[in-house]
């Protein structure tokens, strides 16, 4: 504005939006519990259109119908893409960079984002499988999977 000769003041502010407890949803809960209790990744199965899909939710993105069943899937995944992550979500440099990957599973729509481990040079198309935490350490979270490693 014309009557300004110097920069305006800035007034500090925060959004009090730091803490939430997100309900994961009924079928996603089963998905996370099967990781915790069985050490298995399962996919949602839509009775209506016959698709298996990940991530799990209680409705079908493709045909719009209710979904209430999980099915076992082949635990072998394929790396669709990867990147070496050097910055965290604050943009700060990570002490230990890691490989982020998008992993798909046979006959399953969608897939999962997760880490790759025990790998020097990842490649698109590489076959991988999940490495789980010790069962007593699992809490029912995708973090119960440590990473995916090459087969």
Partner 1 sequence: MSEVAIIGAGYYGFKPITDEVSFREGTFLAAMRAYEQCNIDPRKDVDSFIACEEDFNVGIAISNEFAVDQLGGVLKPVSTVTSESLIGLASGYMLIKSGLCDIVVVEAHSKASNLVSPEKILEFAMDPVYERFLNFHPNYLASLEARNYMEKRGISNDDLALIIKKNKENGLLNPRASYSITVDLEAVKKSEKIFDPLSEYDIAQYTDAFVVVVLASKEKAEKLSNKPVWIEGLYWCSESSLTPLRGFSTNALELAAQKVYDRTNLNPKYIDFFEIDDRFSYRELMHIEALKVSNKDTIKKDLREGRFSKEGDRIVNASGGYLATGVPLDAGGLARVYEAFLQLRNEAGQMQLKNANRCLIASWRGIPTSTYAVCALSNGA
Instruction: Summarize as ranges the residues that interact with Zn ion (CB under 5 A).
Output: 46, 48-49, 60, 62-63
Residue 49 interacting entry, from Zn ion, partner 1, none, C-beta within 5 to 8 Å by type: Zn ion
User: Which residue is listed with tokens 């099967």?
Assistant: 34
Q: Between β-strands 108-110 and 52-54, what pairing exists: parallel, antiparallel or unpaired?
A: parallel
- Cβ closest to partner 1, residue 76 vs residue 109: 109
Contact 115/133 with Cβ under 8 angstroms?
A: no
Residue 63 interacting entry, from partner 1, Zn ion, none, C-beta within 5 to 8 Å by type: Zn ion
Quick one: which of 53, 49, 45, 50 has its CA closest to 70?
45
- Cβ closest to partner 1, residue 9 vs residue 136: 9
| Shortest spacing between CB 61 and Zn ion, in angstroms | 8
Contact 125/77 with Cβ under 8 angstroms?
A: no
Find how far residue 6's CA is from the centre of its chain.
Answer: 47
- 139 Cβ contact partners less than 8 Å away, ≥ 6 residues apart: 36
Residues interacting with partner 1, by CB under 8 A?
A: 1, 4, 7-8, 10, 13, 15, 17, 20, 22, 24, 28, 32, 53-55, 61, 80-91, 100-102, 104, 109-115, 124, 141-143
- Cβ closest to partner 1, residue 72 vs residue 88: 88
């Amino acid at each position: 504005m014309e009557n300004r000769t110097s920069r305006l003041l800035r007034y500090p502010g925060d959004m009090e939006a730091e803490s939430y407890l997100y309900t994961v949803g009924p079928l996603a809960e089963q998905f996370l519990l099967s990781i915790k209790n069985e050490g298995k990744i399962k996919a949602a199965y839509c009775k209506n259109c016959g698709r298996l899909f990940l991530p799990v939710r209680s409705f079908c993105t493709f045909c719009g119908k209710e979904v209430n069943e999980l099915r076992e899937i082949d635990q072998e995944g394929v790396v669709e893409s990867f990147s070496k992550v050097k910055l965290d979500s604050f943009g700060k440099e990570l002490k230990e960079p890691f490989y982020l990957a998008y992993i798909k599973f046979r006959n399953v729509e969608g897939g999962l984002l997760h880490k790759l481990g025990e790998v020097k040079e990842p490649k698109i198309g590489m076959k991988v499988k999940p490495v789980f935490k010790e069962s007593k350490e699992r809490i029912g979270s995708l973090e119960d999977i440590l990473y995916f490693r090459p087969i």
